[in-house]
Each structure stands twice: as structure tokens, then as C-alpha cells.
């Protein structure tokens, strides 16, 4: 399985661009992390409900439009080439509708063949179900699920020490939580300092 995370210039699949892709092949441990520049027509759009996008990703606009970086199209081509020989082409994401949806839209824009399977494992759903099994209720904030990556990390006995978003770091955190929730075991030695909670064993 391929753990996937992307970093973008906003939440709109059509108006915004992808500037970073991170991935881990769970079968081999092989990692992928590359950056590119968003297209000239891509916008940087802030969400109405969170911090400004440039603050979240720790970048300036000129970083996302740096002509010395490969194009967004080439970034996606490189990622697809990395995926082609992977044993299982289903992705694991914290929010697959976002990560895969964004990649699907851009791949169609460039006429690229998508090597990934349409079905994905959603860490949010897996963690929410486990939380419900233990607590007989879902983790809810007002009118929506509150099982974001920060709360999943806490549920899995870890801490959210992230600064600016980085796609590979988020992939590692997603993979570690997936392993703890599904296989009841630690995946990366760097997270050994965070014991798996007894309720997940």
C-alpha cells in the first residue's frame, strides 16, 4: 500500500495547485518526496475556517512559483513513475478525497494516465470506528467529525509536534497511526518513545 500526502496552495482542486508530494511504500519502506512549482494560473486561496495557507505550509508565494523548480506536471509524472512498480496500488490517506481528488483533477488536466487504484484506505474512518468501538460515540465537534490528524495522533498515543506542513512527515505519521490502529504495533523506530495505548492493544 502507498501512504500518500500532498501539499497545495489551497483547497480548491481546480483553482489551486500541488507543490509537494510525499509517499511511502508500506511493503518496502521506500519513500518519495519531491516539490514543484504551481502553474501560473493556479491561485493561493485561504480557507475560511483555518489559518492562511502560506502560514500552514511555512512558505512564501515566491517559493510556490519558483521557476527553478520542476513543473507541477513533472512532479506528478515523477510520482506516477514511482508508483508504477509498487505491489499494491491502493493509497492510505488521512483524507483521500482531498489528496487523490487533487491528483485526479491535475492528471486529467495534463492528460496523464493514473497508475493508482480508485479505492483508498481512509485513516479518518478507521480511527473514528475504533474510537466508537471504545467509547460508544464518535468524536464530534458541533456538526462534524473532529477526528483530524492531531486527534488521531493523540488517540494513538502520540504528540502532534509538527511545525510547517511537510508531506513526507505527514505520511510517516499517517503510516504510524495506521499500523497502531490496524496491526497494533509500532512501525517507525523514531516513534518508539510514544508507547501504544493499552486500549489499542
Cα–Cα distance, 111 to 125 (Å, whole number) = 31
Residue 90, by phi and psi: left (phi above 0), alpha (psi -120 to 50) or beta? Answer: beta
Examine the domain organization and report whether 149 and 109 are in the same domain: no
Instruction: Tell me the pTM.
Output: 0.94
Examine the domain organization and report whether 114 and 129 are in the same domain: no
Which of 102, 120, 138 terminates a domain? The answer is 120
Examine the domain organization and report whether 84 and 114 are in the same domain: yes
pLDDT bucket at 24, cuts 50 / 70 / 90: very high
Examine the domain organization and report whether 29 and 98 are in the same domain: yes
Examine the domain organization and report whether 101 and 132 are in the same domain: no
The number of folded domains in the chain is 2
CATH number reported for the structural domain that contains residue 61 in this entry: 3.30.420.10
- Dihedral of CA atoms 52, 57, 60, 63 in degrees, nearest 10, equals -140
Examine the domain organization and report whether 65 and 110 are in the same domain: yes
Per residue in 38-77, pLDDT (tens digit) is 999 999 998 766 778 898 888 999 999 999 999 999 999 9
Per residue in 101-141, pLDDT (tens digit) is 999 999 999 999 999 999 999 999 999 999 999 999 999 99
Examine the domain organization and report whether 137 and 88 are in the same domain: no
- As given in the structure block, the three cell numbers for residue 84 are 508504477
pLDDT at 144 (0 to 100)? 95
Amino acid at each position: 500500500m502507498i501512504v500518500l500526502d500532498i501539499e497545495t496552495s489551497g483547497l480548491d482542486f481546480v483553482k489551486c495547485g500541488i507543490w509537494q508530494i510525499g509517499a511511502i511504500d508500506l511493503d518496502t519502506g521506500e519513500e518519495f518526496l519531491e516539490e514543484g512549482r504551481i502553474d501560473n494560473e493556479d491561485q493561493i486561496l485561504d480557507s475560511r475556517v483555518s489559518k492562511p495557507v502560506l502560514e500552514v505550509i511555512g512558505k512564501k508565494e515566491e517559493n510556490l512559483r519558483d521557476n527553478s523548480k520542476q513543473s507541477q506536471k513533472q512532479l506528478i509524472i515523477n510520482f506516477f513513475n514511482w508508483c508504477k512498480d509498487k505491489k499494491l496500488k491502493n493509497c492510505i490517506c488521512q483524507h483521500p478525497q482531498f489528496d487523490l481528488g487533487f491528483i485526479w483533477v491535475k492528471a486529467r488536466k495534463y492528460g496523464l494516465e493514473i497508475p493508482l487504484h480508485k479505492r483508498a484506505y481512509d485513516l479518518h474512518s478507521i480511527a473514528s470506528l475504533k474510537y466508537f468501538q471504545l467509547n460508544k460515540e464518535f468524536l464530534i465537534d458541533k456538526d462534524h467529525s473532529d477526528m483530524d490528524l492531531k486527534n488521531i495522533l493523540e488517540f494513538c498515543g502520540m504528540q502532534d509536534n509538527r511545525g510547517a506542513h511537510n508531506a513526507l512527515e505527514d505520511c510517516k505519521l499517517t503510516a504510524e497511526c495506521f499500523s497502531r490502529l490496524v496491526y497494533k504495533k509500532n512501525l517507525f523506530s523514531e516513534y518508539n518513545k510514544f508507547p501504544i495505548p493499552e486500549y489499542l492493544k
